[in-house]
Amino acid sequence: MGRADTVPAHTLLPMPADNWSERRVAFGSAAADYAAGRPSYPTEALRWALPDGARTVLDLAAGTGKLTERLLELGLEVHAVEPLAEMRAVIPAAAHPVDGTAEAIPLPDGSVDAVTVGQAFHWFDPPAALAEMRRVLRPGGTVGLFWNLLDDSVPWVADFLASVGGEERASAIKPDPHPVWTGIDGLSEPERAIFRHAATYDAARLVAYVVSRSQTILLPADERAALIDRVRDVAPDGEFELPLVCEAWRGTKT
């Protein structure tokens, strides 16, 4: 099964095909904005996805370590795998950051209790990545996939997305979705849960958020500057809470 056969379970799956290959490797040049601008993940979503007694976790496509940091705070032994050197350089050293991809994970068979993926499964080749995740998991270990979406039921967030565009809209979450994967040997059918949370922003952080998006990174300079102006126009004054919805999926190695 190729990428085009991915079950469209999520608002970000499948990604638009036109410049997908360019976008998946674009993040490196915006690593500082990514670290400053992206929100973290709710700890309760991570706890929901981890198996009882989890000790060792692979954070796959770890980026700058947003999800990695939450895992470290839970006292877990974390192995962060990330292909882009600029992103990897920001990951806490305690997470043993290493170069690698989802389709060729540089860890031994059966070596982790869980594999977590934040905001990145839509960049993978799903069959190859799922086979690799299953290989590195011990029996009973879990896969946890997480996506942070903006809660556009809140009027200013809807206005913000109307002004600056964006694929990560909570309103696109389906009440009765197809599973994010199905029929994968050695992995249970996945379950989904939704976690509401929020992060404190100001206009500068909201600009960093938008600038860290792959589609923004690839814009011509004048369009990017105009986009940043629109973000500043629509951002609330001072500090504010950005309302978020984390869509989480978990499955178990059988």
Rule CB under 6 A: say whether 67 interacts with ligand SAM: yes
Checking phi first, is residue 183 left (phi over 0); if not, alpha (psi -120 to 50) or beta?
left
Instruction: Output 83 or 141, the one with its CB closest to ligand SAM.
Output: 83
Rule CB under 6 A: say whether 84 interacts with ligand SAM: yes
| 224 close to 112: Cβ distance less than 8 angstroms | no
Min dist. Cβ of residue 88 to ligand SAM (A): 8
Rule CB under 6 A: say whether 249 interacts with ligand SAM: no
For the chain, strand residue ranges (E) read 56-60, 77-81, 112-118, 137-150, 191-201, 240-252
Cα–Cα distance, 204 to 85 (Å, whole number): 25
Rule CB under 6 A: say whether 57 interacts with ligand SAM: no
Interface region with ligand SAM, contact rule CB under 6 A, candidates 58-66, 159-167, 226-234, 235-243: 58-66
Cα–Cα distance, 22 to 15 (Å, whole number): 12
What are the structure tokens assigned to 4, written together? 């085009």
Number of residues counted as binding ligand SAM (CB under 6 A): 20
DSSP state of 51: P
Interface region with ligand SAM, contact rule CB under 6 A, candidates 48-56, 77-85, 157-165, 226-234: 77-85
Cα–Cα distance, 68 to 91 (Å, whole number): 8
Binding mask 105-144 for ligand SAM (x = CB under 6 A): -------------xxx--xx--------------------
Binding site for ligand SAM (CB under 6 A): 24, 27, 38, 61-63, 66-67, 82-84, 87, 101-103, 118-120, 123-124
